[in-house]
Homo-oligomer: A and B are copies of this chain.
Amino acid sequence: MATGDGTVGKALEVLDRVAGFGRPVRFSELLAGSPYPKATLYRLLQTLVHQRMLTYDADRAAYAPGIRLVRLAHNAWTHSTLAPIARQHLDALAAEIGETVHLAQLDHAQVLYVDKRSSAVPVEMISQTGKVGPAYCTGIGKAMLAFLPLDLLDWVLSQQSFHAFTAATITSERALRRELEQIRAEGHAFDREEHEPGIICIAAPILTPKGGLLGGLSVTSTTRRRDLDDLAPLAPRLKATAVRIAADAESWHFPDQTPKPLPGRTGT
């Protein structure tokens, strides 16, 4: 999975890797999984720390994501996600249905949750927002995949791991494509405990009038409270909300957030 993009690409790859650990990480740990030689990795880390994209804790000799990222993300979240536009609609939907509502967008073949309304716990924040999850085995992921342009879909599917989280997880591209077809026909997707046992959801894509994919919307519940048949009747309300969000996005002239297939830069 070549990154390209010269030094900057390499630096960001390292940044991702550090962030991915989810804990302070030592030089040697990074070196182990790195394609770069010691000296190069060292310099990249130095640069990132100097730029406050990473923090270096001298005592523990470990690197962690830096707070400059938090600051940048504030802008990104406010101006480049559906969250601010969708906020009121999420509030309304969550209040009406009384279940957890998620708003997500596709990022690099993964589901990126950009906002959430939880019925139970009142507020949370980046703690939830910013999380990523698999696309092939979540309702919201499948809902988005189903409405991706075909050429992009090919690429995105090629990036899926098809790891079997539960017994119900779809583990082959063929099976997933079949399911996506159905979702396309119905306009909404279900998560049948495919990602976590006991967790089910119904999800719909958020589409521009022209059919461009903006994001996804889902209502999540547990098998203890509801089953799929209870969820299905929510589809109309879910879709109505999605349409409203899309309309607002349109009037905000929101950019079509279709993910890029990482082309070889200067075409073939």
Contact = CB atoms under 8 A, between A and B. Distances in A.
Contacts of A81: 67, 70
Contacts of A257: 55, 67
Contacts of A222: none
B50 A265 contact: yes
A164 interface: no
Contacts of A48: 8
A138 to B, nearest CB: 16
Nearest to A46: B265
Nearest to A116: B125
Contact of A130 (B9, B70, B262): B70
A73 B75 contact: no
A32 interface: no
A19 B76 contact: yes
User: Which of A15, A59, A83, A108 counts the most chain B CB atoms within 10 A?
Assistant: A15
Interface residue SS majority, chain A: mixed
Contacts of A15: 72
A52 to B, nearest CB: 6
Interface string A37-54: 000000010011011110
Interface of A: 4-9, 11-12, 15-16, 19-20, 22-24, 44, 47-48, 50-53, 55-57, 59-60, 64-81, 83-84, 91, 105, 107-108, 112, 114-115, 122-127, 129-132, 253, 255-257, 260, 262, 265
A165 B59 CA distance: 40
Contacts of A105: 67
A21 to B, nearest CB: 8
A70 B112 contact: yes
A105 B67 CA distance: 9
User: Which of A81, A105, A126, A253 counts the most chain B CB atoms within 10 A?
Assistant: A126
Given A47-B9, A76-B67, A127-B84, A52 B255 contact: no
A105 B70 CA distance: 11
